[in-house]
Amino acid sequence: MPKMLKAVVGNLVTKPATRPHPYRRREAFARARGRVIFDISRCIFCGACALRCPASAIRVNRTERELVFEPFRCIICGACVDGCRRGCAQIIPQYHSPAYTKPEETYRAPIEVKEDNQL
Amino acid sequence: MGVKTILPFGPQHPVLPEPIQLRITLEDENIGQVLPALGYVHRGIEKAGEKNDYPLNVYLVERVCGICSATHGLAYCMAVEKLLAVEPPLRANYLRVVWTELHRLHSHLLWLGLLADAFGFESLFMQIWRIREMVMDALEKTAGNRVIISVNTIGGVRRDLTEEQIEETLRTLAECEKQLNAILPVILEDYTVRKRTVGKGVLTADQALRLGAVGPVLRASGVAQDLRMTGYAAYGELGFEPIVETAGDCYARAVVRARECFQTIDLVRRALQNLPEGDILTKPRGNPNGRAIVRVEAPRGELLYFVAGNGTKNLERMRVRTPTLANVPTLLEMLPGAEFADVPVITLSIDPCISCTER
């Protein structure tokens, strides 16, 4: 009984172990794999990321200079980030919030293409 | 003489997190024959493994199991490394041990929580899962994800640990150990818990060996068999002694897993403290050719990977034998003669992972 009393009093004074989720969100850890983003200005549309994607969430059209990414297909393994030599594919710790629809993200090359970015 | 009734236990049952059906022949409250029915969550992962390029399979096999995914990735990588004759660097081997053992720790804690839940000890279940949450956070901080950590790759690991991360993980483990020490006496010495587990579902050493039981089920029956004794990855350098209990009942299986939690904490600690310097990846070259079998110790027991390559980037065959498949037959000998109220605890005591089994 005295053992239990200690726990009861302890539970009365300590804060709850849970977090009021939608109002107070957990800070993402610095190295967490949240979601994949593309810095398209660096992209040379080589397609290395699409080749390495186990979930086929990336499609690269070299002639149209267009990259289509399906974030809801992505399994956030980071294989595209490992395969990207230009630092275009990146992982940020903030995860993608759930959604009713699963839109694709289309990235196109900027109009002014720099000389060294050309194939 | 009572009337015989066939009662379907599962596939949807509060105590079973995953779908397996046990067709139990009951005579009053006593169990006669038990027939298992599998096949509710078959996903065709082995076939998909033949269609993928072999490096992409690492991410596929991690999804065989939602709890011991790091072990699956490790086993597959080791099998392909055998075919490509690639030797991962020493540091990578140590890091593999760290992450695999952290996975074992959270898997055992998950199971201890589920055991408490199976006999209706809700608060204990939540206490244990709160400790498990610390391990999950440690995994997320070091590997980037809670469960599917994707750290293994062919030829090594994909992430390195910094000094701060090592220290933080060691702190987390110390806290974990402290809280486990406070809570485990409740599980192992409590009157209710002992009443529900001691002497239930007894499996003798002979039976366990004859039925091909693996992992904690086998070790709880007094057979000292643990594949970590073979010294794969860095287990050889770290030194390893299996934990054995002799009673063979549900209580012994709980004790084995509880003691393995501490052993795991100790292994991670030693691996982190003795982490050698150096590279973490040896680049693999070429395509796999030939056949390889790799056996590793998953949290539930022996996990077997058979990989056959034919010199192309696709594998000819990938075969996975998971520990639960080996442990289901033991259920068919443990359950007959028991009372119906003990079915949840006995079923849970083999730590069934049905998604693993059906792949």
Tell me if B52 and A54 make a contact (CB, 8 A cut-off).
yes
Of residues A111 and A86, more confidence is placed in A86
Residues B324, B144, B261: CA angle, nearest 5 degrees: 45
pLDDT digits (tens, 9 = 90+) for B207-240: 888 888 888 888 888 888 888 888 788 888 888 8
Which chain B residues contact residue A76 at CB under 8 A? 145
Q: What percent of chain B has pLDDT over 90?
A: 10
Least Cα separation, residue B151 to chain A (angstroms): 9
State the DSSP code for B202.
-
pLDDT digits (tens, 9 = 90+) for B23-51: 888 888 888 888 888 888 888 888 888 88
ipTM: 0.76
pTM for this structure? 0.87
Residue A86 banded pLDDT, cuts 50, 70, 90: confident
Smallest Cβ–Cβ distance between A33 and the set B52, B55, B145 belongs to B145
Query: B150 CB near a chain A CB, below 8 Å?
Result: yes
pLDDT digits (tens, 9 = 90+) for A22-59: 888 888 888 888 888 888 888 888 888 888 888 888 98
Tell me if A79 and B56 make a contact (CB, 8 A cut-off).
yes
Domains of chain A plus CATH, in order, are 35-108 (3.30.70.3270)
Residue among B350, B276, B359 nearest B94 (CA): B276
Residue B76 banded pLDDT, cuts 50, 70, 90: very high
Which chain B residues contact residue A29 at CB under 8 A? 137, 140-141
Domain B41-201+261-358 CATH class label: mainly alpha
Q: Are B299 and B214 in contact (CB under 8 A)?
A: no
Which chain A residues contact residue B52 at CB under 8 A? 54
Smallest Cβ–Cβ distance between B144 and the set A33, A52, A54 belongs to A33
Residue among B208, B227, B216 nearest B295 (CA): B227
Determine how many CB atoms are found less than 10 A away from the CB of residue B326.
Answer: 23
Integer Cα distance of B96 and B106 in angstroms: 16
- Does residue A118 carry a pLDDT above 80? no
Q: What percent of chain B has pLDDT over 70?
A: 100
